[in-house]
Structure formats: structure tokens, C-alpha cells
């Protein structure tokens, strides 16, 4: 990789700071967070969860926190080219088309990094939930979304019920996340 390719990649990645999380936009949340905001949030949730889980003594083997953080940083990178396709698009763009687009975008974006192939493989562990770290980021991605959702509700936003309805059907990989979600739900303004 030449440095120019690296710089082009870094400049392009800054668009994640400008692109909004469209789920919030569609529901009228003002000043909606960016994809980069969410990606940072997810990385932080991963850091905290991995630390707690590894200290809990309940896992068959400790999680590789560094690997999980790498996946967290990469998990929404394809959206630099695809943008954040919201829920309603699920009924309009076949899931396999979307996943293939994400795979292609990630490959193109990371093409010039020495570990591009490895990064793509890590992203698949997340997408396909095939490793403990991939599954942790899956859970963290949703925990982070619901933390933010609750935050918006505590700040006065309304009309976010379907986020909770959708998460009620979520199958969490880690019991800690099942527990966190239940507590978050109990903290909703209507529930107090």
C-alpha cells in the first residue's frame, strides 16, 4: 500500500462522521448520532462487556478483547460507501444482496491494508456470528443501540416503541446482555 492509498482511505472514512444513523432520522430524532458515533459507542460497550465477562469466570475461555475491538471498529465500515440502510429496506433489498454489497465495500475500502483478508474474515465472524468475539460485537451493537434509544427517550424523544418491540425478539448471545436489555427496558420513562 502506498501512503496515498492509506490517506485516501482515511479521508473517505471520515464520512462516517457525517452520515446519520437513519433509524433515528426516520423517527424524527433531532441531531441524530452519526455512524461514527455509534461505532465508537459499540467499541466502548465491547471494551466494558469483554472486561466484565472475562472477570466473571463464566466463560469456557476468555474473550480476546483486542480482536473484539477490531471487529467493533470494522463492523460498520462498509457504510462509508453504502450508508446506513434502515429497517424498511429489508423488505426491498434482499438480505444477500445487502451482505454481498457490504462484503465488496469492505474489501474495496481495506484493499491496500496488509491484513485486508484477515479484516474481512473478522467481519464475517461478526456477520455470521461464528466466533465468541463476533457474537459479542453482535450483542454490543444492539446494546449500544438500546442505550442510545433509552437516552433519547429520557431526553424527551417519543415514537421509538418499535425499536423495543423489535429487540424483544432479539436472541442475545450472552446472558449479561439479556439482563442489561431487561434493565434498560425497565428504565423507560413510561415504566417508572
For residues 36 and 42, give the distance between their C-alpha atoms in angstroms, rounded to a whole number.
10
Collapsing DSSP to helix, strand or coil, 92 comes out as coil
Query: Going by C-beta distance under 8 Å and a sequence separation of 6 or more, which residues neighbour residue 94?
Result: none
What cell was used for 119? 479484516
Smallest CA-to-CA distance from 147 within 41, 58, 75, 67 is with 41
**CB 88, min distance to a second copy, A:** 4
Q: Map the footprint of a second copy across residues 71-100, applying CB under 8 A.
A: 73-74, 77, 81-86, 88-89, 91-94, 97-98
Residue 4 interacts with a second copy (CB under 8 A): yes or no: yes
Residue 150 interacts with a second copy (CB under 8 A): yes or no: yes
Q: Map the footprint of a second copy across residues 44-63, applying CB under 8 A.
A: 44-45, 47-48, 51-52, 54-55
**CB 106, min distance to a second copy, A:** 10
Residue 166 interacts with a second copy (CB under 8 A): yes or no: no
Write the interaction track for a second copy spanning residues 110-149; mark x where CB under 8 A is met and - where it is not.
---xxx---------------------------xx--xx-
Closer residue to a second copy in complex, CB, 105/129: 105
For residues 13 and 108, give the distance between their C-alpha atoms in angstroms, rounded to a whole number.
12
Give the position of cell 449479561. 176
Amino acid at each position: 500500500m502506498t501512503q496515498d492509498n492509506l490517506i485516501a482511505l482515511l479521508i473517505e472514512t471520515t464520512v462516517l462522521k457525517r452520515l446519520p444513523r437513519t433509524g433515528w432520522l426516520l423517527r424524527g430524532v433531532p441531531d441524530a448520532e452519526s455512524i461514527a458515533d455509534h461505532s465508537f459507542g459499540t467499541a466502548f460497550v465491547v471494551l466494558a462487556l469483554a472486561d466484565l465477562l472475562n472477570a466473571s469466570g463464566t466463560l469456557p475461555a476468555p474473550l480476546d478483547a483486542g480482536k473484539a475491538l477490531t471487529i467493533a471498529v470494522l463492523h460498520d465500515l462498509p457504510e462509508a460507501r453504502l450508508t446506513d440502510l434502515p429497517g424498511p429496506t429489508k423488505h426491498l433489498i434482499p438480505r444477500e444482496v445487502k451482505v454481498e454489497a457490504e462484503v465488496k465495500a469492505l474489501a474495496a475500502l481495506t484493499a491496500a491494508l496488509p491484513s485486508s483478508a484477515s479484516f474481512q474474515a473478522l467481519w464475517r465472524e461478526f456477520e455470521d456470528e461464528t466466533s465468541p468475539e463476533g457474537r459479542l460485537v453482535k450483542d454490543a451493537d444492539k446494546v449500544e443501540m438500546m442505550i442510545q434509544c433509552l437516552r433519547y427517550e429520557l431526553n424527551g424523544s417519543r415514537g421509538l416503541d418499535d425499536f423495543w418491540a423489535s429487540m424483544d425478539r432479539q436472541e442475545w448471545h450472552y446472558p449479561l446482555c439479556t439482563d442489561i436489555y431487561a434493565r434498560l427496558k425497565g428504565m423507560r420513562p413510561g415504566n417508572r
